[in-house]
Amino acid sequence: MSETGGRSPRHVPVLLDRVVALLAPALDHDGAVLVDCTLGLGGHSEAVLERLPQARVIGIDRDPQALAMSRERLAPYGDRFTGVQAVYDEIADVVADQGLPRDGGVDAVLFDLGVSSMQLDLPERGFAYAVDAPLDMRMGDTGPTAADVLNTYSAADLARVLRDYGEEKMARRIADAVVRERQVEPFSSSARLVELLYDVIPAPARRTGGHPAKRTFQALRMEVNDELRVLQRAMPAAVDVIGVGGRVVVESYHSLEDRLVKRTFAAATRLDVPDDLPFVPEGAEPSYRLVTRGAEQATPSEVEENPRAASVRLRAIERIRANTRPSTSSGKGAE
């Protein structure tokens, strides 16, 4: 997450100190490796490289523009930083390509989910509803755009996206209006979509929950980038890729994301024996433990300094022994 001055984003990572504190025990040895799965502009990675000089970072981002900026920012750290263009559900392949084992090959994994600061703050990317821009919203440089979704999905599918990913109460009403209006002219700009939302959403509903376009833009972004399905694959893979003493730290900003992370962590830490068994058989102990107590949130002072921290939920898990159960990524993970 970030704040900007003009056209050049200035990265202000959410809960930076707490995130580094959670990662530090796993990275407190020579040759330690962090995989930053949501590199963005590199704010979290820079803090780790600066404060934990024994660690190196593999940074993953699907956005070539963000990757180029972070490589420039982190160039002073030399070969302690490696940037990789990939989607973060490819974490096991990325680790293997760096010559590390897929199972237990790294010491820590970090996810700072959602849209990156650079994407939000550069109008031409189409993520922001405050300025007119092409309806793109892709985190990478391939695949369908938000305009494609608006112009080709059925009313039922559009309503599902808005309801499930945006928690938009007016989902069907908005979807019907989009389908009606695109017959006049296809959607191409954010301003036209925002104008439609102001027309469709009643004034009383616009007075609560922030900007009336916020939920629709969030839903389109999550659909365009397939965010939940990617996260569903990535979370169990990340849990598997850390070694004993390793940690996975996740910052999420959407209830569906946080629920998926919570379920993945709960499955990994669950004691899989009958409740009435008087002892825990050898090999039945969970291989992981929860590090955070529930989901941690930003303090009022941090929210005041960085409003984008208001919705953050922070969770962490640690691997405490070698796996004695089947790999958590052998299936589909949490639903």
Binding-site residue positions for S-adenosyl-L-methionine: 42-44, 61, 88, 112, 119
Give the strand order in the sheet containing 55-61: 81-85, 55-61, 32-36, 106-112, 242-252, 313-319, 288-290
Cα distances from 48 to residues 44, 193, 267, in angstroms, run 6, 40, 28
Rounded CA-CA distance 116/127 in Å is 10
Name residues whose C-beta falls within 8 Å of residue 191's C-beta, 6 or more positions apart in sequence: 132
Tokens describing residue 109: 């994994």
292 burial via Cβ count (<10 Å: 0-12, 13-18, 19+): middle
Which spans in 75-110 are helix H? 91-97
Cβ atoms of 266 and 239 closer than 8 Å: no
- Distance in angstroms (rounded) separating the CA atoms of residues 308 and 2: 8
> CA 278 from chain center: how many Å?
41
Report in angstroms the alpha-carbon separations of 93 from 84, 88, 235, 253. 11, 10, 14, 26
Write out the binding residues: 42-44, 61, 88, 112, 119
- Number of neighbouring beta carbons within 10 Å of residue 106: 25
Nearest-angstrom CA–CA distance, 249 and 264: 12
> Rounded to an integer, what distance in angstroms lies between the CA atom of residue 135 and that of residue 158?
15
d(CA 129, CA 29): 45
